[in-house]
Amino acid sequence: MSEFLKQRSTAPEGFFSAEAAGLQWLAAPGVVPVVAVLDRGADFVLLERLESVAPDAQAAFVFGRRLARLHDAGAPAFGWAPAEQSWFGPLESPFEVTAQPVASFSDFWVNQRLRPVAADIADELTDDENAAIASAITAVSTGVFDGIAGGDPEPPSRVHGDLWSGNLMWTPDGGTLIDPAAHGGHRLEDLALLALFGTPFLADICAGYEAAHPLPSGWRRDLPAHSFFALLAHVKLFGRGFLGQTVAAAREITARTAELGA
């Protein structure tokens, strides 16, 4: 088996252990391909080297179906993570996030993800920008996004947690997961990240997903609430270049909450 060494001497303590634990937790149900962990240490994780192939509609459909099954494998609680420490962001500049099990998605999302990052970037924003973000966080705190399209609350899902297109590698085995921020979360988190920056054959992924676990009408309008943390994190990590998209998402969240009657 060919190997891939991911190493950085300045990585935060616990970073590679968390990545390895996340990959192994996602692989455990055996429903979606996940890059294999061969070894790990304080400043490295040794992975199976994957062969890259071009995606197509059929592979995307199959991946969507597998992703739904992964989500359905569940998690002990919202906010639970397979390692004591959790991280989000690229290898060059990850930041630690809380991994505290709680009963509801809104509690987890607001208190462990949205509010901490919003506080980190507040001094760099205008009053109007901060107000738009605060309004969206208040909207999420109502619990309207604990379900989907105003439905009953979802149970905690087994989510990748950072599933933008760069962390989905197409291999001869199909869509394969790499570089997770794995935790117990809402299943729309992964779908929202796939949609956020564009993923090849996204429509086919969603069709495969719905073939395995149907979604209620209007679910796509909930996605800004579930990609909001990633957008805030991009402002924190990379600056104001992502702020326009983040504020636009904040306003969509507030409007969607009013539409759903919360």
Cβ neighbours of residue 64 closer than 8 Å, sequence gap 6 or more: 204, 205, 206, 207, 208, 209, 210, 211, 212
**Cα(72)–Cα(74) distance, rounded to whole angstroms?**
5
Q: Tens of pLDDT along the chain (262 residues)?
A: 699 999 998 889 999 999 999 999 999 999 999 999 999 998 999 999 999 999 999 999 999 999 999 999 999 999 999 998 999 998 888 999 999 999 999 999 999 999 999 999 999 999 999 999 999 999 999 999 999 999 999 999 999 999 999 999 999 999 999 999 999 999 999 999 999 988 999 999 999 999 999 999 999 999 999 999 999 999 999 999 999 999 999 999 999 999 998 6
- Domains of the chain with CATH codes: 52-259 (3.90.1200.10)
Nearest to 139 by CA among 260, 227, 221, 242: 260
**Cα(178)–Cα(162) distance, rounded to whole angstroms?**
9
Give me the pLDDT at residue 91, please: 87
Give me the pLDDT at residue 262, please: 67
Q: Do the beta carbons of residue 170 and residue 176 sit within 8 Å?
A: yes
- pTM for the predicted model, two decimal places: 0.95
**Cα(155)–Cα(105) distance, rounded to whole angstroms?**
9
State the CB neighbour count (10 A cutoff) for residue 166: 12
